[in-house]
């Protein structure tokens, strides 16, 4: 498959991406809420529950894996890559190595992991990965983000994306403007627009093929502590407007992150976005983590006898998000 074909398959109608690339500490926080010990075997069992869910391929086009996960096997002996391929789902891999404090601006972070990436990417290709993901984190408060933070993160995203394409991997470019804080939706619009313009300027400079990548942005949304919370329709209108002003038409698809939204609100906002997307040149899809897994984790609760219940909860939520992805979710 060409990179363009892989990118288009990832954002095919009715489908989107499951982000199952939580780091070990992050999945530990999710497990703690359901009193499950954060050990490798429990992580493996939980990911197997997700990846072996019958008919997940109807709604899920690809799965972003963590380094530990791409090396693991299902209880039947097959690698998780093989398990996903049998479901008709493309395996991908998170390749950034988290964040570090930005020099001279300790409240901001830049993403690390470029060092050694040229060596790691061929290994992931040999394991069967078809696409990659790299996340940049942009925080909003009174005096941030700074120009320096936006610029360095954008340069690193561009270098990563170019390396991916040189290794025949589709890059998912994820500049996330966090919803943490008390900022208004208008402030989120302003910062998101600036970030996306900078990211695409750097991608162009690096020679990244826009038709062979996926953008994974935040929605334009109120800060989680903002007194005035914008509704789903306003989120949709400002998000689509922001994208129209920043994203080149050649990009095949935009897979939104849920970014801390509840399962319900992440469905509602995605549904409204697709209702107002008639003139958009891209597929508007999803790459959700928590918003696809919260009810699954609760239904499973770490108990082997609840695996079927967990899978049913996952499939139910995947179907709802799939309907929202096409603007067909009934109120």
pLDDT of the residue at 122: 98
Q: Using CB atoms within 10 A of its CB, is residue 2 exposed (0-12), middle (13-18) or buried (19+)? A: exposed
E strand map for 159-294:
170-177, 214-215, 253-256, 283-288
| pLDDT digits 0-9 by tens, 181-236 | 999 999 999 999 999 999 999 999 999 999 999 999 999 999 999 999 999 999 99
pLDDT at 106: 85
- Confidence (pLDDT) at 260: 87
Q: How confident is the model at residue 331 (pLDDT cuts 50, 70, 90)?
A: low
Q: What percent of the chain has pLDDT over 90?
A: 98
- Comparing CA positions, the residue from 291, 190, 181, 286 lying closest to residue 238 is 190
pLDDT in tens, 240-297: 999 999 999 999 999 999 988 999 999 999 999 999 998 999 999 999 999 999 999 9
Give the residue from 214, 196, 210 showing the smallest Cα distance to 92: 214
Q: What are 45-66's pLDDT values in tens digits? A: 999 999 999 999 999 999 999 9
ω into 145 cis (within 30 of 0): yes
Length of the chain: 331
Residue 330 has pLDDT above 90, yes or no: no
Least Cα distance to 265 among 301, 226, 224 occurs for 224
Residue 243: C-alpha distances to residues 17, 128, 231, 257 (Å): 20, 32, 18, 14
Per-residue pLDDT at 301: 97
- Domains of the chain and CATH, by start: 3-325 (3.20.20.70)
Residues annotated catalytic, as ranges: 174, 216
Whether 128 has a pLDDT exceeding 90, the answer reads: yes
């Amino acid at each position: 498959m060409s990179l363009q074909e892989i990118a288009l398959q990832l954002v095919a109608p009715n489908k989107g991406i499951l982000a199952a690339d939580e780091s070990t500490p992050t999945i530990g926080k999710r497990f703690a809420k359901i009193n499950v010990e954060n050990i490798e075997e429990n992580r493996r069992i939980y990911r197997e529950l997700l990846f072996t869910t019958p008919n997940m391929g109807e709604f899920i086009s690809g799965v972003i894996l963590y380094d530990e996960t791409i090396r693991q096997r299902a209880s039947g002996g097959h690698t998780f890559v093989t398990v996903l391929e049998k479901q008709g789902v493309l395996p991908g891999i998170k390749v950034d190595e988290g964040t570090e404090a930005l020099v001279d601006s300790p409240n901001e972070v830049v993403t690390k992991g470029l060092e050694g990436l040229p060596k790691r990417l061929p290994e992931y290709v040999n394991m069967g990965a078809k696409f990659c993901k790299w996340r940049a984190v942009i925080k909003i408060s009174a005096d941030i983000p700074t120009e320096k933070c936006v610029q360095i993160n954008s340069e690193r995203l561009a270098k990563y994306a170019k390396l991916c394409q040189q290794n025949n991997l589709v890059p998912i470019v994820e500049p996330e403007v966090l919803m943490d804080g008390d900022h208004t939706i208008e402030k989120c619009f302003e910062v998101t627009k600036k970030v996306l313009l900078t990211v695409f300027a750097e991608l162009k400079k690096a020679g990244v093929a826009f038709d062979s990548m996926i953008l994974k942005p935040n929605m334009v949304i109120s800060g989680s502590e903002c007194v005035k919370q914008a509704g789903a329709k306003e989120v949709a209108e400002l998000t689509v407007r922001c994208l129209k002003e920043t994203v080149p038409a050649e990009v095949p698809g935009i897979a939104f992150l849920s970014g801390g939204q509840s399962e319900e609100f992440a469905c509602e906002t995605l549904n409204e976005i697709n209702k107002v997307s008639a003139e958009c040149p891209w597929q508007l899809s999803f790459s959700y983590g928590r918003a696809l897994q919260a009810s699954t984790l609760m239904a499973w609760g770490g108990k082997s006898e609840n695996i079927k219940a967990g899978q049913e909860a996952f499939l139910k939520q995947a179907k709802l998000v799939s309907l929202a992805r096409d603007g067909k979710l009934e109120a």
